[in-house]
Structure 1
Amino acid sequence: MESTAGLVIVAVLAVIALLFLVMRTKLQAFIALLLVSLLVGLAVGMPPGEIITTIEEGMGGTLGFIAVIIGLGAMFGEMLRVSGGAERLAITLMDKFGEKNVSWAMGLTGFIVSIPVFLDVALVILIPIIYSLTQKTKKSLLHFGIPLLAGLAVTHSFIPPTPGPISVASIIDADLGWVILFGAIAGLPAMIIGGPIFGKYIGNKIHVEVPDYMMEQVKDVDYDRDLPSFISVVSIITLPLVLILVNTTSDLVLSDDSTLQSVLTFIGHPFVALTAAALLTFYVFGIKRGYKKEEIQQITTKALEPAGIIILVTGAGGVFGEMLISSGIGDILADAMEGMQMPLIVFAFIAATVVRVAQGSATVSMVTAAGLVAPLIESFDVSEPMLGLLVIAIASGATVFSHVNDSGFWLVNRYFGLTEKQTLKTWTVMETIIGFVGFGVALLLSLFV
């Protein structure tokens, strides 16, 4: 089946099949992506040997980079969690911002904490502080909770080394320095509008108390317990980001044969930057705080468990993208987009949005959309900065319209004691604001790069 119409039909059926397998049969996304990739190869008449080779290349090419990054990031984040670094950030920022601006402090706390720590874990760590503030001020839980959620959601979607943007960057071969830079530029206004501004508005509309079944959590807040210093927490979280950004900048301003450029490229490579950050975390938040070497080993080993499935799903997304390239479907999609005169960044956002609304998982949405975008990149004149913006566009599309098929929806529903209708009015609207603001900034920046 090599006709244009046939390839288009295969592409459409592939996405439908993927959604069906994930949503209706509840097949694990890793298996679903692999199975659909196999079916695409068979449907377009690829020889069996070529199909297997394509799977190997897609998986290996993706995992060679992403497995290292996500593994290091997971250990780094778990050590920060265990040491109390997240609480230190929240408490210090609340003190600096003052009582009137606590919602801004919570937004910034979420923004920083979610760089190394998974969103759901960060929420569980910090929710007792939100409960305590609600009890103390008698304001709606949403007044403080929405800014925190917005900060967590923005960096979880936009800024490496969180799995989503890392996965997309790996599949479409984007430079992490540009992703970090544009993620911050798009993420800050998204956090501000979706967090403190929307939080104040919705907090006045819907008054929510601490759920009765969560009252024990309020008593667990110990503001006097020994925590790491604020400076050490912020320094170690930002260290790998700064090194990666310096690497990206050095490529622009220094000649390729410069010794300094070679040194900066090495220490600013994500492998080296995150290894340095992880080792510092083990020492500063582990050994210096009295943890035994065996305990640190147990903590960091446990951190790799949730990372494993994300790594595999992303690898399968790389296989899906590689199969679309090898089958010729990517060329057909590129021609169709040129015919419609649709910018690649708009297609990236729409593709991620459709998958997000259909099946719920932000990670699966990002990986699937990246797989659809990857084959198109060769047909367009895409610069390094533009690849970074494509990552943000995909992340934005995978953030909007969170509803009942998204695990994050139910996490917030439970911890905030909301009805389904209230969760749609709060969490869903907040996520949609973040996604559209992020995409709007990325689209605007795309006019200049």
Structure 2
Amino acid sequence: MTHLSVEMLAADAAEPITTAGHAQLGIAVLAGIAVIVLLITKFKLHAFLALIIGSLVLGAVAGAPLDKTITSFSAGLGTTVAGTGVLIALGAVLGRLLADSGGADQIVDTILAKASRKAMPWAMVLIAGIVGLPLFFEVGIVLLIPVVLLVAKRGNFSLMRIGIPALAGLSVMHGLIPPHPGPLVAIDAVGANLGVTLALGVVVAIPTMIIAGPVFSRYAARWVDIQPPENLVPERTSDDLEKRPGFGITVATVLLPVVMMLAKALVDIVVDNPEHTVQRVFDVVGSPLIALLTAVLVAMFTLGRAAGFTRGRIAATVEKSLGPIAGVLLIVGAGGGFKQTLVDAGVGQMILDISKGWNISTLLLAWLIAVTIRLATGSATVATISAAGLVAPLAAEMSTPHAALLVLAIGSGSLFFSHVNDAGFWLVKEYFGMNVGQTLKTWSVMETLISVVGIVCVLLLSLVL
């Protein structure tokens, strides 16, 4: 696990592009975010363009050279598109195959038949929690979106009533439960026991998912009562098909990348030697890119051919899947560019410097540091790494359970209030067809609930352990 944290720390350890003081950096952050929000809400400028302009304003106010600001933004955009963008594209292809073959209809029909209307949000948070265990948040979204949108439309649910539980399940897994990279890095940094952290993480995750998912979705659906965006809802084509794939093979196809990535995570934990042949093989097989690519290729047979598709129709389905996500890719990429500009300007280090004088409980201190860095940079990973590095010396005298709780406190803080500097914010906004205000009232509030409930559970556990 050490190699993972070293690689991630090195990736974020770039030389700052400005020598501005803390006050100037703080003003720059506020100015950049204000410009983005104003351009989108007041002037109706496309989010992709607003994020570019906001990044330039941030760099200018911070006193960074224009060329370095552009380089930072471009690097962040490129990294995000190269990683998340490819996964979104592969997920879109898998989702279209799932929809056009009738596989998504098969899953939705089965869920609607087996779960009552009241139980549907609970079913969604359970599915998302299981699927999200080994997956990055973005991968989980692209896998679940076709199912979420179809359940909402076919069951005549508000999209928030179904979507929020799914998002909550994915987000909690991503922030709190190993083998996700953030928790693994924090475990390594503070010297916590992985098994204890995993066990306590599940204890914290269950009430957190319930409150931020099915419970909060009741209120989110009242605040933002929207229907699934028509351009992203998979069309029901199974009525025109002579046959469609069975429920079992459809679910197996969707879960194939989940199983592949989970296998990689388990091998990483058991072998824990990056030079070992078995671990190197599973590092390739279980990478998100290979796992989703494999699932797409398998789906061409298990879904496409099972529905009677010719090679030509499969090719047309793949081509048709990529058009609707072009805007999503650009916006998510630009969100990554803005985040990288913040990081390279030294905002994360500024927060660390300011927080050194805080005199409070170690668990609460770790949470507050992670919250502040998350708010400033938009990156849960940067928040986790930075906070873990700062409080790691304090973990030396901690018991095994309390060291695990320190990891969970950091993870909880790293999820606080996702907003316009977070690429995930734009991903959710575009997939669910919301405007900025609606996304803040639903997704951002949900993330804040996860963070607050998470730290409350951690503090309560610290009293009895």
Q: TM-score range by the shorter chain?
A: 0.5 to 0.7
Instruction: Report the AA paired with residue 168 of structure 2.
Output: V
Q: 1:187 to 1:309 in 2, by over 3 A?
A: farther
Root-mean-square deviation (CA), in Å?
Answer: 5.3
Aligned counterparts, 1:281-296, within 5 A: 281-296=299-314
2:321 maps to: 303
Equivalent runs, 1:38-437 vs 2, <5 Å: 38-96=56-114, 105=123, 115=140, 117=142, 122-127=147-152, 129-131=154-156, 148-154=162-168, 189=207, 192-193=210-211, 226-254=243-271, 255-340=273-358, 343=365, 345-346=367-368, 368=378, 373=383, 376=386, 380=390, 397-398=417-418, 436-437=449-450
Counterpart CA distance in 2 for 1:269 and 1:118 is: 15
TM score, norm. by length of structure 2: 0.62
Q: How much has 1:313 moved relative to structure 2?
A: 2.6
Q: 1:344 to 1:77 in 2, by over 3 A?
A: farther
TM-score (norm 1): 0.64
Contact residue 91 and residue 292 of structure 2 kept, 8 A: yes
Shift of 1:316: 2.3
Distance (whole Å) between structure 2 residues aligned to residue 67 and residue 372 of structure 1: 20
When residues 408 and 300 of structure 1 are mapped into structure 2, their CA distance, relative to the original with a 3 A threshold, is: closer
Report the CA distance between 1:436 and its aligned residue: 1.9
Per-residue deviation, residues 88-130 of structure 1 (Å, max 9, x unmatched):
2233345555899677556656878994657775455234542
**Secondary structure of the residue that 1:27 maps to in structure 2?**
coil
Report the AA paired with residue 126 of structure 1. V
Question: C-alpha displacement at 1:69, in angstroms?
Answer: 1.4
2:21 match = 3
Contact 2:103–2:250 (8 Å) recurs in 1: yes
Separation in structure 2 between the aligned mates of residue 128 and residue 250 of structure 1, nearest angstrom: 39
Which residue type is aligned with residue 88 of structure 1?
Answer: Q
Deviation per CA, 1:326-361, whole angstroms, max 9, x where unpaired?
Answer: 333332122223334664544655787x89xxxxxx
Instruction: Give the C-alpha shift of residue 397 in structure 1.
Output: 3.1
> Counterpart of 1:311 in structure 2: which amino acid?
L
8 Å Cα contact 1:345-1:389 kept in structure 2: yes
1:14 has 2:59 as partner: no
| Matched pairs, number | 383
Change (3 A) 1:315 1:129: closer
Which residue type is aligned with residue 72 of structure 2?
T
CA shift at 1:279, angstroms? 0.9
What runs of 5+ residues in structure 1 fail to find an aligned partner? 132-140, 209-218, 356-366, 400-405, 413-422
1:377 Cα offset (Å) = 5.8
The answer to whether the 8 A contact 2:418-2:444 is kept is no
Identity of aligned residues (%): 24
Task: Letter of the 1:235 partner, please give it.
Answer: A
Structure 2: gaps of 5 or more residues: 1-18, 133-139, 187-193, 226-235, 396-403, 420-427
User: Contact 1:90–1:106 at 8 Å: present in 2 too?
Assistant: no
2: CA distance, partners of 1:18 / 1:321: 13
* SS of 2:155 mapped into structure 1: helix
Change beyond 3 A, Cα 1:349–1:36: same
